[in-house]
Amino acid sequence: MKLNLIYILIIILSHCFVLNEAGMNAYNDLKGSESKKLIANAIQTAELSALNIYLANNGMSAGITAIASLVVVNGLLAQKLYPYVSKIEDGSYYSKISVLQCVEDIKTKGAISLGLSYSELPSSGLGGPLRDAALLPEFASCELEKSESFIGVPKVIDL
């Protein structure tokens, strides 16, 4: 009986090891590089939403053509810069639920916070995209949960 249990354990562990080494996770987790892409896309969307919020609060007299083009460029650059300022590790796995929650929070809470604070933030210049890439996840209070499947076995019970 003990020998069969050991064989089963070895098979399970080797299966999980092979999947993780091949970049495939057997569970509902996202690789860090994929998480960065999803969050970077959310940042660009949040920039556009923040512009709408800013214009709604300040009226169209806020100079829509100048601001709109700057925000679009800001959003594109923030999207490209996020992977470099992020603390997410490319090879690690993160809970898909926490990543998707972060994405939604950036699109809502992050966009609202940024839109309401545009007039209080220093003029963007070259630091604007870098500022926004760092600020939006902070405004959204993104707390990504690293996958606890070190060998492919998820944490089931908190002790």
Residue 79 contacts residue 43 (beta carbons within 8 Å): yes
* 18 pLDDT above the threshold of 80: no
Q: What share of the chain is helix, strand, coil (3-state, %, to 5)?
A: 70, 5, 25
Residue labelled with tokens 């562990």: 13
Please state, in angstroms and rounded to a whole number, the distance separating the CA atoms of residues 79 and 128: 12
Provide the β-strand partners of residue 93.
Answer: 31
pLDDT digits (tens, 9 = 90+) for 55-112: 887 776 655 656 667 777 777 888 888 888 888 999 899 999 999 999 999 999 888 8
Q: Rounded mean pLDDT of 8-28?
A: 57
Please state, in angstroms and rounded to a whole number, the distance separating the CA atoms of residues 150 and 159: 17
Q: What is the pLDDT of residue 25?
A: 52
Report field, pTM of the whole predicted structure over 0.75: no
More confident site: 42 or 81 = 42
pLDDT range class, residue 3, cuts 50, 70, 90: low
